Amino acid sequence: MTRFAKLLSVFLILSLLALSLAACGGAQAPETSPAGAAASPSGGGEREITIRMEPETGTLDPAGNSSITYWGYAAYALAPLVELAPDGSYDYIIAESCDINEDNTVFTFHFREGAAWSDGSPCTPADYINTMKRALDPACGSGYSDFLFKVKNGKAIYEGSADPDTLGVSAPDDKTLVITLEEPCQYFLDLLFLPVFYPSHAEKATETNGDWCFDPARSLANGPFYLAEYVPEQYILLKKNPYYVQKERISLDSIKLLAIADTQSAISAYKTGEVDVTSADYTVLAEYEGEDDLVILPSMTSYYTLLNWDREPLSNPLVREALSISIDRDAIAASAGKGSYEPTSFFVARYMTSKLGGGEGKKWGEEVDPLLALNIERAQQLLAEAGYPGGEGFPELSFKYPAMEVEAAIAQSMQAQWKQNLGITVNLEAQEYQVNISDRRAGDFDICRMRWTADYADPTTFLSMYTASASYNDSGVASAKYEELLALSEREGEPSKRFQLLHDTEKVLVAEEFAFIPTLAGIGVTLRSPKLGNIVINPSRNTPFYKYATLAD
């Protein structure tokens, strides 16, 4: 055998190896779940749609370190007691009604007859209590545990100073769940779509962050679809749950959540027909303009810029005001990408549904005037008053932001405008994402970008972030007037008056104290097949849900 032939044989071995590996890959296909499989309809045209999801780390356990994957999954597989309908009213799912005592501290939920898990076992209050109790262990890794502090003794249990059994939840019988709160909360029902208020099977889901949640045999669903297949980093296959308490509302047979990391790839996959629904970005706006495929929804995300109150000269309110009113938000939006961002001077997401004036479904930003307006002359005057006429003697500040396209556009635009309008120098410092979070949480910055997405559909998801004791108050905001107004709103039981107080609270924070500088509001761009109908917009996040969607032929 010549040496060359030896080399050839090495090639052949390698190619055989590749083929055998390919064969292994093929054999990996998991079996479908026994849960409910017998009852699912077979034959005929399967009505299946494919939705893109972003691959992300995290568990599917509502009590664990849930993340983007969880949200995509839970929207279909898990059912809350109550959820918000598009018009701001409540859609009762597992509960059929809820009695609330006079001062909004005791919530009694009555379960629907026939509420069940996908293996047919009944869904009871114990399943909801199971999640809450597990999420009050700090080792659970849930980012939503602090919402349980509203429940009586929740905080004390989390901090280890009370026994878990003293939590203010009880189940007098199999059909009744009573939740007692620490203090009155008008928007408690709006919180119920957060993971920690979702159910997990009291007998099967006992290990927090355990691998049961990825196993179709043990991961049960009480929502419209159950987990039939889970292939890590690739897809989640969900099938119609025959035991869903409102199964008459389901039209699809199955939903496949397909993991695609890159947005441009996802847009291509939409064009090839590999997905029916995908989130997209401004690059598709021109191409799909006026077509049914394109859905544009304002997202509940606010972009704003933190000013460090603990550092000179930002501790001076005159300086903060000058910085706040010397920037043109339209210019920032234009540089960040028209169509993906809107200029805003509100801190609260401007499309949040308001209850001012008896809840006519008006949006937060529509019912009052903008909080800040561009006024360069006044800004220059203020800066002079603060001792820096024409920007003279003003120290160079650094502006920290994570190296991401939109954040860079905001920072660059603000830097240029401050230079031009006030004559001050700001140095840009693009950082890696984790480093930026780390510096921000440690208060190690002069100016830092910030972004916040509503956790629930009430302005307090934004407005409660900057009290002296709040864990997100990274920039040292300290305002007695703001905290007083916020406390007043917490005690106000009448919705319209409460919303007026909340508007006042925001005004003090943004346009009196100039605590930080709101700049942009996010916009969600979605591509979806025009064949889909009955898509529900969930007002909590202003994102479309497809659980009750229909598919035209």
Partner 1 sequence: MLKTILKRVLVGVATMFVLITVTFFLVRLMPGSPFEAENVSAQMIASLEKEYGLDQPLLNQYLLYLEKVLHGDLGISYKKNISVVTLIGRGMPATMQIGLLAFLLAAVVGIGLGIWQASTKSGFIRGLLVSYATLGVSLPGFVTALLLIVVFGAWLQALPVVGLTSPKHYILPVIAQAFGPIATISRLVKSSYSEAMQMDYVTMARAKGLRPWQISLKHILKNAILPVITYFGPAIAFLLTGSFVVESLFSIPGIGKEFVSAISNRDYTLVLGLSIFIGGVIIVANLVVDLLCAVVDPRIKLND
Binding site for partner 1 (CB under 8 A): 2-4, 6-7, 10-11, 14-15, 17-18, 21-22, 24-25, 28, 55, 57-59, 65, 138-139, 141-146, 158-159, 209, 211, 231-235, 258-262, 264-265, 267-269, 271-275, 432-435, 437-439, 441, 455, 471
Query: Are 506 and 346 contacting, i.e. CB atoms less than 8 angstroms apart?
Result: yes
Minimum CB distance to partner 1, residue 168 (Å): 20
Alpha-carbon dihedral 541, 543, 546, 550, rounded to 10 degrees: 130
Count CB-CB contacts under 10 A for residue 279: 21
148's tokens: 């349980």
C-beta of 11 vs 113, nearer to partner 1: 11
| Angle in degrees, CA 402, 408, 411, rounded to 5 | 100
160's tokens: 């280890």
Distances (CA, A) of 545 to 204, 260, 522, 549: 27, 18, 19, 8
C-beta of 439 vs 490, nearer to partner 1: 439
C-beta of 66 vs 421, nearer to partner 1: 66
Q: Are strands 48-53 and 254-259 parallel, antiparallel or unpaired?
A: parallel
Structural element, H or E, at residue 111: strand 106-111
Give the span between the Cα atoms of 18 and 38, in whole angstroms: 38
Minimum CB distance to partner 1, residue 52 (Å): 9
Minimum CB distance to partner 1, residue 244 (Å): 28
The alpha carbon dihedral of 140, 141, 147, 152 has a sign of positive
- The maximal CA–CA distance of the chain, rounded, in angstroms, is 93
Identity of the amino acid at 167: L
Minimum CB distance to partner 1, residue 460 (Å): 15
C-beta of 32 vs 534, nearer to partner 1: 32
Minimum CB distance to partner 1, residue 56 (Å): 9
Identity of the amino acid at 21: L
Give the span between the Cα atoms of 436 and 430, in whole angstroms: 8
C-beta of 25 vs 44, nearer to partner 1: 25
Minimum CB distance to partner 1, residue 81 (Å): 22
C-beta of 186 vs 431, nearer to partner 1: 431
Minimum CB distance to partner 1, residue 170 (Å): 27
C-beta of 227 vs 383, nearer to partner 1: 227
Give the long-range contacts of residues 239-242, CB within 8 A, separation 24 or more: 239/32, 239/36, 239/37, 239/40, 240/40, 240/41, 241/36, 241/77, 241/118, 242/36, 242/39, 242/40, 242/118
For 14, counting Cβ atoms within 10 Å of its Cβ (0-12 exposed, 13-18 middle, 19+ buried), the class is exposed
Give the span between the Cα atoms of 519 and 211, in whole angstroms: 42
What are the DSSP calls for 495-522, one per residue? HHHHHHHHHHHHHIIIIIS--EEEEEEE
Place of tokens 């401050």: 418
C-beta of 11 vs 289, nearer to partner 1: 11
Minimum CB distance to partner 1, residue 525 (Å): 17
C-beta of 212 vs 394, nearer to partner 1: 212
Minimum CB distance to partner 1, residue 269 (Å): 5
Minimum CB distance to partner 1, residue 140 (Å): 8
Minimum CB distance to partner 1, residue 62 (Å): 15
Those residues with Cβ within 8 angstroms of residue 42's Cβ, 6 or more apart along the chain or in another chain: none
C-beta of 19 vs 373, nearer to partner 1: 19
User: Which of 68, 94, 90, 65 lies closest to 81 in space, CA to CA?
Assistant: 94
C-beta of 9 vs 89, nearer to partner 1: 9
The alpha carbon dihedral of 183, 186, 188, 194 has a sign of negative
